[in-house]
Amino acid sequence: MASVDTIGTWDSVAHVTLLSLIGEEFAIDIDFEEFAGATSFPEILERVRAVTS
């Protein structure tokens, strides 16, 4: 499962870029503080579901 531990290029810049992409794709406002601790695909998915529900 994709996470900061399994993908070497997943650094802080990539993290912000990924969150910005998700915000753009799903047309949602990303609270970066809230997503700061989401460092794996399941964690990000959980937070996106919470925002979009």
Partner 1 sequence: MQRLTLAKALDLINQPVAEGAPHKAIFLACGFTPLHLATFLKAHGRARFPGSSVEIESGLFDDLAGSLERGAAQAGAECVALIEWADLDARLGLRHAGGWPAPSLFPDIEREVASRLERISAALGQTAVVAVAGPTLPLPPVGITGCAQDTAFELRLRSLVDEFLAEVATRPGIRVVSQQELALVSPLPGRLDLRLTLAAGFPYTLPHADALAGLLIETLYPGEPKKGLITDADDTLWLGILGEVGVENIAWSLEKHAQPQGLYQQFLGALAERGVLTAIASKNDAALVQSALARNDLLVPASAIFPVEANWGPKSASVGRILQAWNIGPKDVVFVDDSPMELAEVSAAYPDVTCLRFPAKDPQALWDLFQQMRRLFGRQQIQEEDRIRVASLRSDAGPLPTGDDFLERLQGKVVIDFSKDPANTRSFELVNKTNQFNLNGRRWTQGEWLAMLNDPQQFVATVSYEDKFGPLGKIAVATGRVKDGALSIDTWVLSCRAFSRRIEHHTLTRLIAHCSAERVVLDYHPNARNGPVRDFLEQILESPPSGNSPVEFTAVLYAAHCPALPHAVVVNEVGIGEAVAS
Task: Tell me how far apart the terminal alpha carbons of the chain are, to the nearest angstrom.
Answer: 24
The 10 Å Cβ neighbour count of residue 30 is 19
Q: Which is nearer to partner 1, 14 or 45 (CB)?
A: 14
Residue 22 CA to residue 25 CA, distance in Å, equals: 5
The least distance separating partner 1 from the CB of residue 25, rounded to whole angstroms, comes to 7
Q: Which residue has the tokens 């993908």?
A: 7
Binding mask 1-40 for partner 1 (x = CB under 8 A): -----------xx--xx--xx--xx---xxxxx--x----
Residues that bind partner 1 (CB under 8 A): 12-13, 16-17, 20-21, 24-25, 29-33, 36
